[in-house]
Structure 1
């Protein structure tokens, strides 16, 4: 029975951490973004975010986006610096082309830092893609 269930592979959808200047607080901060680099919209996007490391664990945060057009991105949440010392997971579920997709994107602990930033797809800024 399980062998009959098709689980499509998530391609061209990413989660990225981007360092940005916050005008309101006059400070640099990390923000998580979801990137849709597909040629189709993704819909009913559910994102469950959490951080953990042994006995330390953050609150579970849930986010929902109705639709993300092709070749676009959207901010998920602000990431506190203290949370970057933990492994951070973003479990993303969405629909595209009449199928449901799911993938867990992971930022391993201490991997989000200014010196590891690279060019990102779609977003015109430097950042770090989750694995």
Structure 2
């Protein structure tokens, strides 16, 4: 049962929304000393305007592993959803232990003014801890 699973806190794993010359993209970065295995990411957007609720389709991504100090592309992201909460629910294993965390980019936080240089990607992006 879920209550019997030890969900240790996530450390040194980050989700980044970065922009290059072509487009915005979402990455996961592993800054752990260990490899992440069986990385599962679900992504969705949700929110509401003054008149209606909005949500995107839930997408699921499987990444077999991410080595220590490396990153992986999760998905491209379109600017038309930046006004929504953009949620990335990340689950993975390190040495048989499961880790699980939601990373939520709040509405209108994905803007040029919030970009910082992300060393691993060698590009600017929005860094989520």
Alignment partner, residue 11 of structure 2? 11
**Gapped regions of structure 2 (runs ≥ 5):** none
Structure 1 residue 46 and structure 2 residue 40: aligned? Answer: yes
Structure 1 residue matching 2:7: 3-state secondary structure: coil
CA distance in 2, matches of 1:82, 1:88: 11
Change in CA separation of 1:10 and 1:62 when aligned onto 2, cut-off 3 Å: same
Deviation of 1:114 (Å): 1.2
Change in CA separation of 1:3 and 1:61 when aligned onto 2, cut-off 3 Å: closer
Matched positions, count: 125
CA distance in 2, matches of 1:76, 1:109: 20
CA distance in 1, matches of 2:3, 2:99: 17
Structure 1 residue 105 and structure 2 residue 99: aligned? Answer: no
CA contact (8 A) 1:37 1:121 kept: no
Change in CA separation of 1:3 and 1:77 when aligned onto 2, cut-off 3 Å: closer
Following superposition, which runs of at least 4 residues in structure 1 exceed 6 angstroms of deviation? 1-4
CA distance in 2, matches of 1:14, 1:99: 18
CA contact (8 A) 1:19 1:114 kept: no
What is the TM-score of this pair, normalised by structure 1?
0.88
Equivalent positions of 1:26-105 (< 5 A) are 29-54=23-48, 55-105=53-103
Alignment partner, residue 124 of structure 1? 122
**Gapped regions of structure 1 (runs ≥ 5):** 23-28
What is the TM-score of this pair, normalised by structure 2?
0.89
